Amino acid sequence: MQGFLSAERRGAVLRSLRSNEGTQSRDYLAAAREVLRELVAMPDVIQRLPLKRTPGGYARNLLAGDGGVSVWAMVWGEGSATSIHDHHCSCCFGVVSGTVTETWYRAIDDSRAIATEEQHRTPGYVACMLPSGPNIHRMRNFGPGEAISIHIYGFDHEIHSSSIEKEYVAVSG
Ligand SMILES: [Fe+2]
């Protein structure tokens, strides 16, 4: 675990994400965007890491984790998709390679949601979302080929298994 980046880079990433104001603060989110901009600007370095892959699915690779923050590289196999979900923590991501299609949803009750918007996220794209904002989404890789994205979550990887709070099924509006 956490063996993908050099100790130096891992330390630098975690130092920049350290915040006294918590992982939903403006300073933290600005730092997370900056870290993501740096990482997505080095696709050759990321693509050379010995990242785990799951054919037809997506694989999560822990790049760095410390206290309340964890940084992951996701490798999206062609055709892979997340569930429709929201988050219990702040969730920032950037696309390194390929295209990740992000669909946004609006909950109509505790378990059902209606799609409201869909965007293709391409290399260099960086965004953050907060648990308090509209944050129900689904990510998919329609290909061609795999996609890689980096995700920075405000959760401790030793306490939570993922950033997902709740999952929904899609209904048409
Ligand atoms: Fe998500």
Would you list the domain boundaries of the chain? 2-170
pLDDT of residue 3: 63
- Expressed in angstroms and rounded, the spacing between residue 15 Cα and the centre of ligand 1 is 24
| pLDDT above 80: residue 36 | yes
Name the one residue in this structure whose structure tokens are 């329609």: 142
CA of 21 to the centre of ligand 1 (A): 23
Angle among Cα 153, 21, 149 to the nearest 5 degrees reads 20
For residue 2, is pLDDT > 80? Answer: no
- Predicted pLDDT at 149: 98
Give the CA count within 13 Å in the CB-facing half-sphere of 5: 21
Q: Is 28 helix (H, G, I), strand (E, B) or coil?
A: helix
Return d(Cα 161, Cα 46) in angstroms, integer: 23
Q: What percent of the chain has pLDDT over 90?
A: 82
CATH class label, 2-170: mainly beta
CA of 115 to the centre of ligand 1 (A): 15
Distance 90 CA to ligand 1 centre (A): 10
Structure confidence at residue 84 as a pLDDT band (50, 70, 90): very high
- 134: CA distance to ligand 1 center in Å? 12
Kindly state the percentage of the chain with pLDDT values over 70: 98
Mean pLDDT of 36-65: 94
Q: If you measure from the C-alpha of residue 44 to the centroid of ligand 1, how many angstroms do you get, rounded to a whole number? A: 25
42 contacts: CB under 8 Å, gap ≥ 6? none
- Give the predicted TM-score (pTM) of the model: 0.93
Q: What mean pLDDT value characterizes the chain?
A: 93
Give the distance from CA 103 to its chain's centroid: 14
